[in-house]
A and B are shown apart, each in its own frame.
Chain A
Amino acid sequence: MEPLLAAALSINQLWYAVPLIVAVSLVYAATRHEEMGPILHHAVHIGVWIVGFMAVVFAILLAMWWWVSS
């Protein structure tokens, strides 16, 4: 099994990113709005962006590993 994929599937350590993503999203959204509703809405939006960015970087690294190992 590809070592990079195996390392990425170490879900135990990947869960530590969840509280970081939540904290960063909430604090950043709170600097943009005053009301709780828009803050939460914007926080979800930012959280999705962060997770998507992490997924893109993972895909790039996986592609690089596949290209180097082939």
Chain B
Amino acid sequence: MGTFAYGCYLGGNAKIGWARVVYIQWDEEDKRLPFLCQMGMGLPTLPAVVQAYRASHGRGPLWGCQFMAPPRPAPGARPAGNAEGAVANQPSLDDLHSRLGPYFELGTVFTMIAGLLNVLAIYDAWGGPVFTEPAPPKDAKDEDDQDLEAEAEQPATGS
């Protein structure tokens, strides 16, 4: 959770909104594949789903804030639903990159890794720790090999 929160902090600021690296968008110019990893966090990514749903139905961001809001699509791109008017006053993806610089990618990476680690934690909670079998002691292994060789050398008994 800390990794996800830090990624949200890196991927935004007070002017353009926080957590701008966690959003849902699927158009010709921007297919936001990192969200497939980010959604492993579960409930913390729900605002992105809400914002994208509102945008696709022609409504502005929730409460006017830009938290996890999708960026304005590039000119010529055909966003889903009626999103074009809803996100007209949002910064574009180019604006986000220019304002955040390398922190956009850093925030994306942090939130993606957080989501994947959460999936690992869910599996650990469901199935418990994955214990690895220790290698057998060398002496016991040699004894087993000798037993197998002795059995192979014994003549086969016919009926």
Contact = CB atoms under 8 A, between A and B. Distances in A.
Interface in A16-49: 16, 19-20, 23-24, 27-28, 30-34
B102 A23 contact: no
A32 B129 contact: yes
B121 to A, nearest CB: 6
* Interface size of B as a range: 10 to 19
Interface in B113-159: 113-114, 117, 120-121, 123-124, 129-132
A16 B132 contact: no
A19 B124 CA distance: 21
A13 interface: yes
Contacts of A16: 10, 106, 110
Q: Is the interface of B mostly helix, strand, loop or mixed?
A: helix
Contact of B121 (A27, A32, A33): A27
Nearest to A12: B102
A32 B113 contact: no
B67 to A, nearest CB: 22
B9 to A, nearest CB: 12
A28 B123 CA distance: 11
Contacts of A31: 120-121, 123-124, 129-130
11 contacts: A13-B106, A24-B117, A27-B120, A30-B121, A30-B124, A31-B124, A31-B129, A32-B130, A32-B132, A33-B129, A34-B129
**Across chains A and B, which 4 residue pairs bring their CB atoms closest together, nearest first?**
A31-B124, A27-B117, A23-B3, A34-B129
Given A16-B10, A33-B129, 5 more contacts: A20-B109, A24-B113, A30-B129, A31-B124, A31-B129
Interface of B: 2-3, 6, 10, 102, 106, 109-110, 113-114, 117, 120-121, 123-124, 129-132
